[in-house]
Structure 1
Amino acid sequence: MDADRLADRAETNLPRNNRIATTALKGASLLGLAMGMIAATPALAADADARAAAPKVEEIIVTAQFHTQKLQDTPIAITALSGSSLEDRSANNLSAISDSAPSVILRPASAAFGDSITASIRGLGQGDFDPAMEPGVGIYIDDVYFPRLTGANLDLMDVDRVEVLRGPQGTLTGKNSEGGAIKFYSKVPNGDNSGYITATYGSRNRINLAGSADFKLVDGLYGRISGAYGDQDGYINVYDFGCRNPGQGVASTTGGTNCLKYKEGDVGYKAVRGILRYNPNDKLDVTISGDYTKDQHHNAAQVLLYANNQNPNVAAAPGVPYDSRFICGPFCNYDTTGQGAATFTAGLLPFLQGAPFQATSGSELSKYTGWGVSGKILYNLTDTVKLTSITSYRAFEDMFSVDNDLSPANVGFGNNDITDWSWSQELRLNARLSNMVNATLGGYYSDEKSVYYTLQDIRYVAVGVPGPVCAAIGGVNTPTCPVYPLQFIGNDPITTKSKGVYGDIEIKPTDGLTINGGLRYTNDQKNYTFVRLNLDGVTPQTFLGALNGFTATPFNGNRLDYRFAVDYRFNPQAMVYASVASGYKAGGDGPRPFNPAQAIAFGSESVVNYEIGTKTDLLDRKLRVNLDVFYLDFKNAQLTLLSCPQYGGAGPCALPQNAGNAHSKGVEAEVTLRPVAGLVIDSSLSYQDWKWTCVNPQVVGLAQGPCSSDQSVISLINQQPPGLEKWKWNVGAQYDADLGNAGSLTPRIDVSYQGSQIGNVLAATPGSPSALYGQLDAYTLTNARLTWRSRTRDLTVALAVTNVFDKYYYTSKFDLTGAGAGAIAGSPGRPREWSIAIKKTF
């Protein structure tokens, strides 16, 4: 059977893919240092006999250009990781793979965004789970597009391989892949009656169970079923404030042992996948798969970093303002699940004095349920023409409650319930027109509907001026000058449709030269209708009633993306390539208007990427060095403002707008070295510089006008976007020691560096709470693993330690000071954890 059919069936068992790059490049050119490393490699492995005995770096097959190719022959910056390689790195979910891929950031989102992730590649992506927003990184499971960031921190269950494509993939993977694409490929059944079962125990009563079985039903009909279970206690203690701090004027509500209510950052999921494959002959291959996931746990880990709001409406109790007393510590908080009834203390609008706040309550648990079915049909019309059909239906529901102030104060609280269904159909025709030409023609259609239910209890709406100033402008002498009470129910339907046609052609005029070109036309449509009701669920909300039933201007965008690449292979050891490619992310309407002026649209953003790179296998394939240099021309950046008095006045804000244009340049390196038998060293590194070329003046609070290149305007926005790290690197090494009849012992260590990231979009004033507490600092983590395998390699025992040096760091921060809430929360990363896993294959 030819290689094309093997890869399209996702049957190719990719070998372990490891890379190495130097990690000390500051003050030197990446390309120059990498070339120096290549030149110095003989000194690293001076013993020629030892080099000859070492295994070669394995060939890796990818399908990024719609047909099977060696990784080293593909003119795209790709990180490819096999399932076994991910296991060696103790990577068990989507966010964990980013350590191994340069310029890639995948992190669990803050508790305010439920069960979702932030995803970006080369600074382009998205961190907002709201279905009104589109991700800038395309996530695919067995060639099926995963439309939302909610539920996207996928468990790596029975994964054959993961391909991370960096740079815009507007023609190859299409929808919303301006930053790049992440493609998962499951192990598919082949009827060999194989399987495995794994059991893990570790820190904080961690229990993981996973297994898979591959079986033959009859000739040509095969099945595979996989399952995973995970449970672990949390690492952030949630205490009852009144119990733990008697005499502060706040009543105790529950108490519990040592005033502990529960723990956040825990794990509780179950997942199952079944795949049925019908392969009666060499012409037809049909795969039908279904999966189900249930994830229930307390909120994501979070701690309070800053608290200061003198508004009397947010006080935890009479005379108990919201301030630093509610900062619990590095691994605890005073999270609550609701806010009590009260009456409004007016400031600017005295006639609202005494208006009621109703009590609100929610759940301490975050609950995600998702499922999907898909079918893939491969049919060989002739020996050179192949038709592929991919059909999918997916649905999920995510429910969670958020206490933004992490205290018994009444700053802000919300319940959220997002339901979503989507189906898609793709048809693709591949033709090998000659030994010189491969061509692909395809079409894509998707239809999605989301409903975002939310109950919001926001009590901090204020002008934010001192009481005497409030009185001078006609209000009451009240701290921070409260404006109005804001409690409402939203139940917003959002529909999204996308249509696309694409073509790709690859021409090989000579043995060494390959030319590739592609075009894709896309039409995206989005409709958003606002529902804003009082807490009775019937009457229009008092202050947002103008939005109730309002359908925003539908987004309807057309886009033609292109890609051109040329590569030249000098010899079996070295290939160079150059490419230019475009991508875009659809626009829409601001989904969280806290006043009618914020119900405004934002447009699409787009990028053109210019890239040159080299892929080399040196020293008889003992050393693999892949390098690339890129330049981004980025237009109409979609950034979410958390402070926007210029749009309707004081109060909350979470408004996406097109902030401006930018240029960015960067370098990336991935290297694998096998100097002697058993030893593998792998690494990656990326550096990226970002420069705004113009900024929308209104976005930074100035008068409306064209995009401005004035440095005084540009300086008002953060000098890099969310989701960009200037420096990022990792290095790992493992040695497989042969113990003879006792099997083998493999120690591995991985060290990864994550660069700093910004907090909010607007530049923080030096010395402000946002500057002091709202930014994400860089950090370095070390993981270690020791694996014993039996001589027959059917039994494995692994001891793993993650975050070996118990580094304290934050994966995200949520800064609401600009909106007037006076709160900054952080999400601490997981502390040092150990686990022991036993795996039996059969």
Structure 2
Amino acid sequence: MSKLNQNITPITLAVSLALLSANSIAAEQTNTVKKGELERIEVTARKTVENLQEVPVAVTSIGAQQLAENGISVMTEVQQFSPNTTLQTSRGTNSTITAFIRGVGQQDPLWGYEPGVGIYIDDVYLARPQGAVLDLLDVQQIEVLRGPQGTLYGKNTIGGAIKYVTKEMTGDATLNVQGTVGSYNQKDLKITGQLPLIDEKLYVGFGFATLNRDGFGEFLTSDLDNQDRENYNKDVTAARVTLEYTPTDELFFRLTWDKTEDESNAKGGYRLLPSLLTDAPVPDSVYDSYTSMPTWNKVELEGYSLTARWDMNSNTSLKYIGSSRDSYSPTNIDFDNTSTRIFDVPAIYDDEQTTHELQLNHQGNNYKLVSGLYYYDGESCGQFEAILEELGKSLGAPGLTREVSGCSNSSSKAAYIQGTYDFDDKWSMTLGARYTKDSKDAIVNNGLIFDTVYPESGWIPGYVRPEGQLVPTVLDDSADWSRFTPRAGVEYQYSRDIMFFASYAQGFKSGTFNPRATTAEPAAKPEIVDSFEFGMKSEWNDNLRANVTLFTLDHKDRQYISVLPGDNAADLNQRLGNIGESTSDGIEVELNYIATESLSFDASIGYIDSSFDNVIDYDPETGEAFDKSDRFSVSNTPDLTFNLGATYRMYTEIGDFVMNGNYYYRGDYALFEEDSLLTQDAYGLLNIGITWYSTDGQWSAGLYGKNLTDEEYMIGGYQFVAPDPSNPSDVSKYTPGLGGDNTLIGYYGDPRTVSLTVGYRF
């Protein structure tokens, strides 16, 4: 921790000065200015409703009003408000998420890989990153839990958890209509409402959204006719129906159905190098691309969930949560981004999952307890074709395709318990434990086909796929893993408004098989994260909230796919293994200051020092082990993130106005772990908005500007090139990679946009 102490001293000093100055300002204003007060924030981070300031966990909660007044319509924007958090749209589609918290996450969204950050909708776990970029519809709040949640959430939350909480019904008949128009021909419509079927007993709620936008760029060339050439466009339809039944004061039932269809085009990447094999230069715009594939794309999600709660008495409740979810995604990704089939990857992802959870919550005079049983059963299948047609032609064949397909069927069973005991009005202790047993069956088919092959007939006009399995089965195996993961913490209530806490927690991510295996290779072992935290939750003079967390984590047996050279350029050899260990030390600060009844400020600051301590590989000729950690970076993890915001409320005879702005900064970060050739320099985003509410509370309108300085920043990419071995110091010189071309590709975040939203509440 010595390095951490040296590095965070300026930040700690700045935070301390901010607290002291804000406290003194607040004291001076007590008798001169009528000030507002901090609102009480309730969270469900520990699977029961609690005051944010009483929860000894690093958690950020963003409520529906704050989301609306900042013009936030998609979950990835929440990263601005949570320190040391990365939530970004992945390469290739609008709906696949890249999530990292404190340097722990998942970069590759291929089937069979387990995420490091859990995504939950009303406590229902989403196992796959496809479709996890959720558009906000009827949301009550979003919570970001940082650090391993290995006791209460267990499966694959070694980095943290994102909780999407929808609104419970009030029982009143309501209808809300909201329309948005904006840059790039944005046209959104959201309709939500509820209707009592039996007064105070049975209610039905509904939500519908259609979200449309033209592309930020275009596909400049395409070999296929009649293709929509918009790039980075949006075409999403979402619907949700909820039935809530309260037969007695002690019983509550909620049945929910939701469906999302994303028919936005496949995203084309930006060529950072001119092509060696075609006449495709580097485009003028980072949102322009070339492709030799269809531009259509699809992500379909559908799910059902049932929640039943029995309040056995005033202190004890029993809760059941069951769900079933399906996802289907045929997708087109042109890795080389040229109008020639150099390295094209059409793919299909097909996932099903069922979950059951039974919770028992109890609260006594000086203790509270959460316990439960959890079961997950999932089938994750997929297929992709790595089409290397130009390479095949150079070898005298009509084409060349490496086809990979298979399934990873998994189950997870767990039992957990966590309790907090109050020794007195100052000291308390939290202890928790979870036992998890995971099982996985995997089958992988992998081989070369000396022709151009697509996953299905009709993928391109006139294509008919040969019948039968085209490549051999190379892996058919199963494995089990189990783990006991503890949590221990102590809390000290220094005063009514100040609490200190220290905790230890362990996270466990399942072992897995390589879905790209070329041989019957063994499964990778599970990943383990050990985390220590020391934090403070505090409120000062009813108008300043300051929450601070220091943390250190040790990430062991990191799973990693290493790309290995093969006998020729047609080989796509990727070996899955446990490469080594990384550590992260950091600090997170969240501040809310209510200066007056009208003016408030907020800030969040995250600093993290992450690095690989060892990465063990083996010399293929001698078999000797060596450490190559100097070639590795913890990806998607800036060392510094911060967000500074201000909100001003003005009350007039024609309604209330809310004006806000924020500046969000991300330090530089690598996009890949090993020998990353793509590094995004530090950048900042400036956002400004104004929201109006009518005096009768029925009308609202908002004007929002995002990324007003029009920053260009990379959020994903592909690198299939290598530094020139004859001149390794010259980073502008490369040798071609798979497919024989300079494939170095970037995907970018949204440019400057302006939108106008108008809503009416019936």
TM-score exceeds 0.5: yes
Partner in structure 1 of residue 695 of structure 2: 791
Q: Deviations over 1:597-629 (max 9, x none)?
A: 8x55322111100000001101x2210000010
Q: Aligned-pair distance for 1:784?
A: 0.9
**Which letter maps to 1:496?**
S
1:557 to 478, 481, 493: 481
Cα distance in 2 for residues equivalent to 1:404 and 1:418: 17
Cα distance in 2 for residues equivalent to 1:503 and 1:522: 12
Q: Aligned-pair distance for 1:45?
A: 4.5
Partner in structure 2 of residue 487 of structure 1: 401
Q: Aligned-pair distance for 1:812?
A: 1.4
Q: Does the alignment pair 1:613 with 2:568? A: no
Partner in structure 2 of residue 670 of structure 1: 590
**SS of aligned partner of 1:178:** coil
Q: What is the 5 A alignment of 1:565-714?
A: 565-593=489-517, 595-596=518-519, 599-618=521-540, 620-641=541-562, 643-645=563-565, 651-698=571-618, 704=623, 713-714=628-629
**SS of aligned partner of 1:816:** strand
Q: Deviations over 1:188-224 (max 9, x none)?
A: 2231123421111111111011121122111311121
Cα distance in 2 for residues equivalent to 1:516 and 1:429: 17
Cα distance in 2 for residues equivalent to 1:337 and 1:638: 33
Q: 1:131 to 1:27 in 2, by over 3 A?
A: closer
Q: What is the 5 A alignment of 1:394-473?
A: 394-432=325-363, 434-459=364-389
Q: 1:40 to 1:26 in 2, by over 3 A?
A: farther
Q: Aligned-pair distance for 1:179?
A: 0.4
For the 8 Å contact 1:337–1:401, the answer to whether it is kept is no
Q: Deviations over 1:488-537 (max 9, x none)?
A: 44441221111101111110111122211100011111221123474454
**SS of aligned partner of 2:154:** coil
2:673 to 761, 766, 771: 761
Cα distance in 1 for residues equivalent to 2:319 and 2:117: 24
Q: Aligned-pair distance for 1:365?
A: 1.0
**Which letter maps to 2:629?**
I
Cα distance in 1 for residues equivalent to 2:120 and 2:13: 35
Cα distance in 2 for residues equivalent to 1:522 and 1:680: 44
TM-score (norm 2): 0.90
**SS of aligned partner of 2:209:** strand
Q: Does the alignment pair 1:496 with 2:410? A: yes
For the 8 Å contact 1:370–1:396, the answer to whether it is kept is yes
**SS of aligned partner of 2:39:** coil
Cα distance in 2 for residues equivalent to 1:702 and 1:272: 57
2:738 to 788, 797, 820: 820
Cα distance in 1 for residues equivalent to 2:350 and 2:473: 19
Q: Aligned-pair distance for 1:403?
A: 1.4
**Which letter maps to 2:433?**
L
Partner in structure 1 of residue 257 of structure 2: 290
Q: Deviations over 1:103-149 (max 9, x none)?
A: 110101111x6731110100001122212100011111011111110
Q: 1:30 to 1:439 in 2, by over 3 A?
A: same
Partner in structure 1 of residue 646 of structure 2: 733
Cα distance in 2 for residues equivalent to 1:211 and 1:488: 45
TM-score (norm 1): 0.82
Cα distance in 1 for residues equivalent to 2:602 and 2:383: 46
Q: Aligned-pair distance for 1:701?
A: 7.1
Partner in structure 1 of residue 131 of structure 2: 151
Q: Deviations over 1:304-337 (max 9, x none)?
A: 112455xxxxxxxxxxx247x4322224545324
Q: Aligned-pair distance for 1:91?
A: 1.4
Partner in structure 1 of residue 732 of structure 2: none
Partner in structure 1 of residue 159 of structure 2: 179
**Which letter maps to 2:173?**
N
Cα distance in 2 for residues equivalent to 1:604 and 1:116: 24
Partner in structure 1 of residue 271 of structure 2: 304
Cα distance in 1 for residues equivalent to 2:146 and 2:567: 36
Cα distance in 1 for residues equivalent to 2:192 and 2:32: 37
**SS of aligned partner of 2:291:** coil
Q: Does the alignment pair 1:37 with 2:4? A: no
Q: Deviations over 1:329-365 (max 9, x none)?
A: 2245453244xxxxxxxxxxxxxxxxxxxxxxxx311
Q: What is the 5 A alignment of 1:28-427?
A: 28-42=9-23, 44-45=25-26, 47-49=28-30, 53-111=34-92, 115-219=95-199, 220-240=201-221, 254=225, 262-309=229-276, 321-322=277-278, 325-331=280-286, 333-338=288-293, 363-427=294-358
For the 8 Å contact 1:782–1:802, the answer to whether it is kept is yes
Q: Aligned-pair distance for 1:657?
A: 2.5
**SS of aligned partner of 1:672:** strand
Q: Does the alignment pair 1:512 with 2:426? A: yes
Structure 1 gap ranges (5+): 1-24, 242-251, 310-320, 339-362, 463-477, 765-769
**SS of aligned partner of 2:444:** coil
Cα distance in 1 for residues equivalent to 2:70 and 2:573: 40
Cα distance in 1 for residues equivalent to 2:361 and 2:504: 23
Q: Aligned-pair distance for 1:40?
A: 1.1
For the 8 Å contact 1:337–1:402, the answer to whether it is kept is no
Q: 1:703 to 1:441 in 2, by over 3 A?
A: farther
* Between 560-569 and 59-68, the greater mean CA deviation after superposition: 59-68
**SS of aligned partner of 1:330:** coil
For the 8 Å contact 2:543–2:594, the answer to whether it is kept is yes
Cα distance in 1 for residues equivalent to 2:444 and 2:87: 31
Q: Number of paired residues?
A: 725
Cα distance in 2 for residues equivalent to 1:370 and 1:680: 39
* Between 654-663 and 365-374, the greater mean CA deviation after superposition: 654-663
**Structure 1 segments of 4+ aligned residues over 6 angstroms from their partners:** 481-485, 646-650
**Which letter maps to 1:729?**
F
For the 8 Å contact 1:107–1:117, the answer to whether it is kept is yes
**Which letter maps to 1:783?**
N
For the 8 Å contact 2:648–2:660, the answer to whether it is kept is yes
Q: Aligned-pair distance for 1:383?
A: 3.0
**Which letter maps to 1:498?**
S
Q: Aligned-pair distance for 1:47?
A: 4.4
For the 8 Å contact 1:371–1:394, the answer to whether it is kept is yes
Cα distance in 2 for residues equivalent to 1:277 and 1:153: 26
Cα distance in 2 for residues equivalent to 1:647 and 1:54: 72
Q: Deviations over 1:708-757 (max 9, x none)?
A: 6x5xx322x22x31221111111111100112x11122221111012222
For the 8 Å contact 1:554–1:588, the answer to whether it is kept is no
Cα distance in 2 for residues equivalent to 1:482 and 1:705: 39
**SS of aligned partner of 2:108:** coil
Partner in structure 2 of residue 722 of structure 1: 635
Q: Aligned-pair distance for 1:418?
A: 1.2
Cα distance in 2 for residues equivalent to 1:149 and 1:637: 19
Cα distance in 2 for residues equivalent to 1:685 and 1:100: 9
Q: Aligned-pair distance for 1:573?
A: 2.0
Q: 1:694 to 1:702 in 2, by over 3 A?
A: farther
Specify the structure having the higher radius of gyration (Cα). Answer: 1
Q: 1:551 to 1:43 in 2, by over 3 A?
A: same
Partner in structure 2 of residue 467 of structure 1: none
Root mean square deviation of aligned Cα: 2.6
